C-alpha cells in the first residue's frame, strides 16, 4: 500500500502550489488523522483537488494514536482507548528535518510523505508532521500522538508544530507556495511564521509597526472559519504563549493581531488573510456578527461525490449518468433513472447496513420498516435527545412503524456529550419491543457511509445557529436519502419542503440562539413524522422515490466538494 517514494516529491516542486493546512485530514478510514466533520471535509477537499488536478499540497499532523476508539457498555457509558495506527504502512518518512523552539528547547520535526492519487491522474502531495523523532525529549516526542488530546499547553504546542513547523517544512523540501489556506484557526500560527519571514529592515520602513509586512502576508493567506460559537475558538493566555513559544513577535504586535486579552487564533486568521469565508451562507452572517468589521464571504461546504456514494448507487449512476463522479452537475439528469432501479439500489444498501447492525449489535432490524439515521459527534448542541422528548407520543404514532440507528463519539472531556449517549440508551430501553433502536460503536468514515446510504431518512436536530454547515446530510442526499432537519447550516440552502426533504421547526430567521426553544421543534418533528413522513413512506412509494430523486438531482448536484473547490479556486486562490 505504501508506494510513496521520496523521489516522487520532485514533480511537485516545479510549480507554485496552494498549501492547505488542517489539524485533521480524513484521507482514509485506517489513517486515524481525523475526528469528525472538519477532518472529513479536509479529506474531501484533497480528494476533489486531486480529481481536478489542482496545484495543492496538504499539511497536517501524523496523530499516531488517532482521536480515540470508542467502547460503549450496556448503559451507554463511553470508554476510550488509543486508536493506534502504523504510518509506515501507508506513507514514507522523509529524512529532512526542521526545528521549532518550544519552552526553550529545540524540537525536531520530520514529515511523512503521502500522495493522494485520483483515477483522473491527479495527485496531491501530503505531509504528516511528526515530532516522534530521535533527539527530541520524551514529552516533545508525544506532541503528535493525540488528535485534540491533552491540555491548552499541549494544544498550543501542536498548533506551533502545524503552523510554524509546517511552513518551515514546505520551505525545507523546496516547495514554492503561492497561497496558504488555513482550514480553521488551528493553523493560525503560520501567519506569525510568514510575518517573520517577510520582515523588513528598520532602514527600509522606519515605522516599527510596519516592519512586519502585514499586507504582504495577507496576500498569501486564505482563512476558513468553521465555528459559529464563541467558545469554540482557540484562545491561549499570553502568559502561556510566552512560556511556550517565547517572543515569536513583539508582544505589542502580537496583541494587535491576535487580540488584547488572549491570543485568539481566529483573530490571527481574520487579521492576516485577504480572503475569509464561512462554510454556509447563514454561517457567514453569524460570523459577520461575531466579528464585525471583517469582510467575510461564504463557500458552502460539499462532500466528495464518489467517496460518499455507496456501491449500489455508484453502479446505478454509472449506468444512467456516466461521468457523474467527476462532474456531479450531471446529477441534474437523475430523472433518467427508473423508479424501481433507484428503489432496488437503495434496498441493497439498506440490506448491507442492517446486516452490519446485526453483526455489531445482534439486533435484527426489519428490512421493510422506515429506518431513521442519526450520527454525528455526541455533543449537547446537536440535541440527539430531541426525538425522545415525549416517549409516549412517539410510541403512539411510531410503534411498529419506525426503527432508529444511532452512532457518534463524545469528546473524552465532553461530559454532557457522554450523558447524551447514556440518555439515548435509556430511551432505547424505554422503547424496547415498541421501537427498535441501536447505537453503533466507534463511528468512523466506514460506518458513516453504511449509515447515510442504508437508512431511509437522515435526521438532524442542531440548536440554531450552531451547525456551521453540517455535511452528513449531503452524504445522505448522494445516496437518495432525504433529510429531515432543523433549518440551520447547509439545509437552509438545500431544503425545499416536501420536495428535497422536510424541515423541523421554524425558519432559521425566526429564532436566534435557542437554549430553551426545544418545544416548537419537538412539535413539528412529531407532527411531520407522524402525519406526513410515515404515511408517505408506507402509502405513497411513488412520491417517496420522486423525493429520493430530488435529493440527488437538487442536493447532491450542488452540495459536493467539486463545486466547493471550483469556488475556492475562483474566489480565494486566484486573486
Ligand atoms: C461526515 C462525518 C461527520 C460530520 O457529520 P455532521 O453531521 O456534519 O456533523 C462526522 N464524522 C464522520 C465519521 C463523518 O463521516
The 3-state secondary structure of 559-572 reads: CEHHHHHHHHHHHH
Whether residue 142 sits in one domain with residue 75? yes
Whether residue 149 sits in one domain with residue 45? yes
Confidence band, pLDDT 50/70/90 cuts, at residue 404: very high
Q: Does residue 297 fall inside a structural domain?
A: no
Distance 292 CA to ligand 1 centre (A): 30
Nearest residue by C-alpha to atom 11 in ligand 1: 36
pLDDT: which is higher, 575 or 355 = 355
Q: Out of 380, 472, 476, give the residue to mutate to test ligand 1, the one with the largest number of ligand atoms within 8 Å of its CB.
A: 472
Residue 37: all three cell numbers together: 466533520
Q: Is the peptide bond before 235 cis (omega within 30 degrees of 0)?
A: no
Specify burial of residue 433 (Cβ count, 10 A radius: 0-12, 13-18, 19+).
exposed
Q: Does residue 114 fall inside a structural domain?
A: yes
Distance 472 CA to ligand 1 centre (A): 5
Whether residue 194 sits in one domain with residue 57? yes
Whether residue 342 sits in one domain with residue 228? no
Whether residue 185 sits in one domain with residue 316? no
What confidence tens digit (pLDDT) does each residue in 513-565 have?
A: 545 579 999 999 999 999 999 999 999 999 999 999 999 999 999 999 999 99
Q: Is 445 in the pocket of ligand 1 (CB under 6 A)?
A: yes
What confidence tens digit (pLDDT) does each residue in 456-515 have?
A: 999 999 999 999 999 999 999 999 999 999 999 999 999 999 999 999 999 866 555 545
Specify burial of residue 291 (Cβ count, 10 A radius: 0-12, 13-18, 19+).
middle
Whether residue 327 sits in one domain with residue 238? no
Whether residue 359 sits in one domain with residue 475? yes
Whether residue 460 sits in one domain with residue 520? yes
Q: Is 444 in the pocket of ligand 1 (CB under 6 A)?
A: yes
Whether residue 357 sits in one domain with residue 235? no
Specify burial of residue 231 (Cβ count, 10 A radius: 0-12, 13-18, 19+).
exposed
Can you give the pTM of this predicted structure?
0.97
Whether residue 364 sits in one domain with residue 246? no
Q: What is the CATH number for 39? A: 3.40.50.2000
Domain extent, residue 442, equals 311-559
Whether residue 151 sits in one domain with residue 76? yes
**Total domains in the fold of the chain:** 2
How many Å from the N-terminal Cα to the C-terminal Cα in the chain?
Answer: 38
CA distance linking residue 125 with residue 116, whole number of Å: 6
Pairing of strands 235-237, 221-224: unpaired
The torsion of the CA quartet 418, 381, 408, 364, rounded to 10 degrees, works out to 100
What confidence tens digit (pLDDT) does each residue in 77-126 have?
A: 999 999 999 999 999 999 999 999 999 999 999 999 999 999 999 999 99
Q: Out of 35, 37, 83, give the residue to mutate to test ligand 1, the one with the largest number of ligand atoms within 8 Å of its CB.
A: 37
Q: Does residue 209 fall inside a structural domain?
A: yes
Confidence band, pLDDT 50/70/90 cuts, at residue 202: confident
Inter-axis angle of helices 311-320 and 339-361, to 10 degrees? 160
Confidence band, pLDDT 50/70/90 cuts, at residue 1: low
Q: Taking the CA atoms of the chain, what radius of gyration do you get in angstroms?
A: 24
Distance 475 CA to ligand 1 centre (A): 9
Q: Does residue 278 fall inside a structural domain?
A: no
Distance 361 CA to ligand 1 centre (A): 21
Q: Is 448 in the pocket of ligand 1 (CB under 6 A)?
A: yes
Amino acid at each position: 500500500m505504501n508506494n510513496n517514494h521520496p523521489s516522487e516529491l520532485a514533480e511537485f516542486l516545479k510549480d507554485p502550489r496552494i498549501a492547505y493546512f488542517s489539524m485533521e485530514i480524513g484521507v482514509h478510514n485506517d489513517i486515524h488523522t481525523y475526528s469528525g466533520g472538519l477532518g472529513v471535509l479536509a479529506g474531501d477537499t484533497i480528494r476533489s483537488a486531486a480529481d481536478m488536478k489542482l496545484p495543492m499540497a496538504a499539511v497536517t499532523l501524523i496523530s499516531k494514536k488517532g482521536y480515540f476508539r470508542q467502547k460503549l457498555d450496556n448503559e451507554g457509558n463511553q470508554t476510550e482507548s488509543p486508536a493506534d495506527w502504523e504510518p509506515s504502512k501507508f506513507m514514507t518518512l522523509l529524512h529532512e528535518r526542521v526545528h521549532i523552539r518550544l519552552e526553550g528547547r529545540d524540537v525536531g520535526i520530520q514529515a511523512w510523505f503521502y500522495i493522494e492519487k485520483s483515477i483522473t491522474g491527479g495527485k496531491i502531495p501530503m505531509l504528516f508532521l511528526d515530532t516522534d523523532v530521535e533527539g527530541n525529549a520524551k514529552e516533545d516526542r508525544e506532541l503528535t500522538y493525540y488528535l485534540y488530546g491533552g491540555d491548552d499547553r499541549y494544544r498550543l504546542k501542536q498548533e506551533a508544530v502545524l503552523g510554524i513547523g509546517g511552513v518551515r517544512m514546505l520551505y525545507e523540501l523546496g516547495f514554492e507556495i503561492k497561497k496558504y489556506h488555513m482550514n480553521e484557526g488551528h493553523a493560525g500560527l503560520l501567519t506569525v511564521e510568514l510575518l517573520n519571514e517577510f520582515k523588513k529592515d528598520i532602514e527600509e520602513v522606519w515605522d516599527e509597526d510596519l516592519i512586519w509586512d502585514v499586507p504582504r502576508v495577507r496576500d498569501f493567506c486564505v482563512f476558513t472559519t468553521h465555528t459559529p460559537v464563541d467558545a469554540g475558538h482557540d484562545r491561549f493566555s499570553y502568559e502561556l504563549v510566552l512560556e511556550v513559544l517565547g517572543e515569536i513577535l513583539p508582544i505589542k504586535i502580537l496583541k494587535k493581531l491576535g487580540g488584547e486579552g488572549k491570543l485568539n487564533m481566529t483573530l490571527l486568521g481574520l487579521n492576516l488573510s485577504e480572503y475569509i469565508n464561512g462554510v454556509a451562507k447563514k454561517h457567514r452572517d453569524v460570523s459577520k456578527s461575531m466579528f464585525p468589521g471583517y469582510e467575510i464571504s461564504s463557500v458552502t461546504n460539499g462532500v466528495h461525490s464518489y467517496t460518499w456514494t455507496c456501491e449500489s448507487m455508484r453502479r446505478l449512476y454509472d449506468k444512467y449518468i456516466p461521468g457523474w463522479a467527476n462532474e456531479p452537475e450531471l446529477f441534474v439528469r437523475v430523472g433518467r433513472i427508473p423508479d424501481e432501479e433507484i428503489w432496488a439500489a437503495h434496498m441493497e444498501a439498506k440490506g448491507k447496513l442492517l446486516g452490519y447492525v446485526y453483526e455489531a449489535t445482534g439486533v435484527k432490524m426489519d428490512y421493510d420498516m422506515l429506518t431513521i439515521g442519526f450520527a454525528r459527534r455526541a455533543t449537547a448542541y446537536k440535541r440527539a435527545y430531541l426525538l425522545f422528548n415525549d416517549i409516549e407520543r412517539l410510541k403512539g404514532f411510531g410503534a411498529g412503524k419506525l426503527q432508529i440507528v444511532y452512532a457518534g463519539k463524545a469528546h473524552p472531556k465532553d461530559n454532557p456529550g457522554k450523558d447524551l449517549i447514556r440518555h439515548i440508551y435509556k430511551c432505547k430501553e424505554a422503547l424496547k419491543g415498541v421501537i427498535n433502536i441501536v447505537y453503533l460503536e466507534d463511528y468512523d468514515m466506514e460506518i458513516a457511509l453504511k449509515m447515510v446510504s442504508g437508512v431511509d431518512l437522515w435526521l438532524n436536530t442542531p440548536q440554531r445557529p450552531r451547525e456551521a454547515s453540517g455535511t452528513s446530510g449531503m452524504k445522505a442526499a448522494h445516496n437518495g436519502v432525504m433529510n429531515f432537519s432543523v433549518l440551520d447550516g447547509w439545509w437552509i440552502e438545500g431544503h425545499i419542503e416536501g420536495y428535497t426533504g422536510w424541515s423541523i421547526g421554524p425558519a432559521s430567521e425566526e429564532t436566534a440562539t435557542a437554549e430553551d426553544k426545544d418545544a416548537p421543534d419537538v412539535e413539528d418533528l412529531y407532527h411531520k413524522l407522524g402525519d406526513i413522513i410515515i404515511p408517505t413512506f408506507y402509502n405513497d412509494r411513488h412520491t417517496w422515490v420522486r423525493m429520493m430523486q430530488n435529493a440527488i438531482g437538487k442536493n447532491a448536484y450542488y452540495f459536493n466538494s467539486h463545486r466547493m473547490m471550483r469556488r475556492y479556486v475562483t474566489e480565494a486562490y486566484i486573486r
